[in-house]
Amino acid sequence: MIEQIELTKRFNKIDPQSINDFLEFDGYKVFKKVLTMNSNEIINEIALSKITGRGGAGFPVSIKMSSFANETGVKYIVCNADEGEPGNFKDRYLMEKDPHQVIEGILISAYSTGASKGFIYIRGEYSKSIDIIRHSIKEAYKNNYLGDNILGSNFSFELEIRRGAGAYICGEEFALIESIEGKPGRTRVKPPFPTQQGVFNKPTLINNVETFCNLPFILRIGGNEYSKIGSEYATGTKLISLTGNVNNKGLYEVPYGRTIREVIEILGGGVKDNKEIGMVQLGGACGAIIPESLLDMDIDNEKFAIFDSKMGAGAIIVMDESFDLFDILLKNMEFFQHETCGKCMPCREGHIQVLNLIKKFVRYSATKDDYLSLESLANVIHETTLCGLGQTSMTSILSTIKFFQEEYQQRIRESLFKEGY
Ligand SMILES: Cc1cc2nc3c(=O)[nH]c(=O)nc-3n(C[C@H](O)[C@H](O)[C@H](O)COP(=O)(O)O)c2cc1C
C-alpha cells in the first residue's frame, strides 16, 4: 500500500488564508525550535536526511545550503514557484492549500544560512497562488514571523513576491535570476553558480517550493528518521501530479521507492474505460516516455538513470493505447521550440530542425535518413546546449528511440506507401 502523508497533511483541513489555523496545526513550531539551534546543527540535520531538490535536477540540498552559508555579506533566498513544466501542479497546490508551510521552510533555510532577504518567484498565470501567498506574507509580517528581530531573536528577514514572466525558461535558475533583475529570462554561463553570484550579483540560494516544504518535516523528526522514509537512494516523500487517461487524476504524496504502476493503479484507479496503457511520460515534457512493460520501476532518481532521465518535478502522464507516439512528440517539440530562449545556437536552431523532422513522422513522410538525422540532432542538442532546457528537451525523443524503436521503423515503412499531407 501507499502510505505516508506529510507535506499534504493540512490540505483541506485548514483555511489557507488563516495563520491561526496554521498555528493550531503545529505551524511555525519547528521554526521556533530551529531559532534555538545554530547553522551547523540545522544543516547537519538536513545532510543526514539525504534530501535532494524537488525542482527537477535532484541536487543534494545540504551541499548547496552549506556552500551558500559560507558566503558573507548580503545574500538572497529564492523560492522557485515558476512551475512551467507541462503536467505539474504540485507547487500550486502547496502554495494554495498550505502557504505558511512554504514560508516556514524559507525561514528555516534563511535563518540557517544567514540570508536577510527572499523572493518567491511565482508563475505569472498562477493568480490565485499569488493572492494567497501575498495574504500569507502580510499575516506573517503582522505576527512577526517576518520582518525585524523575528520573535524577539536577532534574526531579521524580508520576503516578497516576484510574478513570473510567462516563460518556461524563467524556471531555470539563471533565467529566473535575470527575470528578478528585470531583464528578459535567459540563462548565464556557469560557473559562477548562483550560490556565489546570483540576484544582483549577490550569493543566492534557489530551491523549489516542495524542497522548502520538506525542511520543517526534516527538522521536526530529525535527519536520521527522515532518511528512513523512501528508498536507499531517494529519501522522503514525493508529490506526484498524475494526469492523462487515469480514473483519478490528481496530486498524490508518496514515499520514494513506490513503483510507477502502484501510483497509476492504486492511486490513479487505473486507465479509463478499461483501455490498455500505451505509454507513460515521466516528469513532464522534459521526461522520458516509457512503455507499459517498464512501469514496475521504482520512483527514484537513481533508478530512473535507465531512462537517461530523472523523476523531474514529479509528473506522471498516462496515455492509453489510442494515442499516437508521434503526435505526442510533436506536442513536446512544439512546446520546446516555442520556449527556447534563443541564447545558444544548438537550442535555438536545433529545436526548429527537430520539429520539422517529427512533422515528417506525423505526416507519414519520414525516411531512414530522417530517422538518423533525428537521432544525431537530438544527441547534439542534449550534449551542447547551455542550460537544462536543451539538455532535457530531447529526453522524450531519445527515450522513444530506445523503447519504441519498432514504432519508428514501422512509420518509416508506412511512409513508403502513404502520401504525405
Ligand atoms: C527550463 C527549465 C525550467 C525549470 N523550471 C523549474 C521550475 O519551474 N521550478 C523549479 O523549482 N525548478 C525548475 N527548474 C530547475 C531549476 O533550475 C533549479 O534546479 C531548481 O529550482 C533548484 O531547486 P531544487 O534544488 O530545490 O530542486 C528548471 C530548470 C530548467 C532547465
Q: DSSP for 168-179? A: GGGGSHHHHHHH
Please tell me the CATH code under which domain 325-417 is placed.
1.20.1440.230
β-sheet bridge partners, residue 237: 255
What's the confidence (pLDDT) of residue 353? 98
Spatial contact of 7 and 127, defined as CB atoms under 8 Å apart: no
Span 187-221, pLDDT tens digits: 999 999 999 999 999 999 999 999 999 999 999 99
Pocket test for ligand 1, best of 173, 209, 387, 389 (most atoms within 8 A of CB): 173
Which ligand 1 atom is at minimum distance from the Cα of 84? Answer: 8
Distance from the CA of 83 to the center of ligand 1, in angstroms?
8
Judge whether 19-227 and 237-320 match in fold.
no
**Phi and psi, residue 376, nearest 5°:** -70, -40
Give the C-alpha separation, 7 to 163, whole Å.
24
- Residue whose Cα lies nearest atom 6 of ligand 1: it is 171
Per-residue pLDDT tens for 279-296?
A: 999 999 999 999 999 999
**Which stretches of the chain score pLDDT less than 50?**
420-421
The pLDDT score that the predictor gives to residue 311 is 75
Please report how many Cα atoms fall inside a 13 Å half-sphere around the Cα of residue 269, on the Cβ side.
10
Q: Which residues, 6 or more positions from 210, have their beta carbon under 8 angstroms from its beta carbon? A: 7, 54, 55, 90, 91, 94, 239, 314
| Sign of the dihedral defined by the CA atoms of residues 379, 55, 333, 168, in that order | negative
At the topology level, CATH places domain 237-320 in Ubiquitin-like (UB roll) (3.10.20)
Q: Cα torsion for 329, 121, 131, 127, to the nearest 10°?
A: -30
Triad 364, 370, 376: Cα angle to 5°: 140
CB of residue 207 inside a 6 A radius of ligand 1: yes
Q: What angle do CA 54, 55, 58 make, to 5 degrees?
A: 60
Q: Which atom of ligand 1 is found nearest the CA of 52?
A: 25
Cα(340) to ligand 1 centroid in Å equals: 15
Grid cell locating 128? 490565485
- The full set of domain ranges for the chain reads 19-227, 237-320, 325-417
Nearest CA to ligand 1 atom 28: 172
Domain 19-227: give its CATH architecture: 3-Layer(aba) Sandwich (3.40)
Assess whether the C-beta atom of 238 lies below 6 angstroms from ligand 1: no
**Of 299, 267, 396, 298, which is closest to residue 54 (Cα–Cα)?**
299
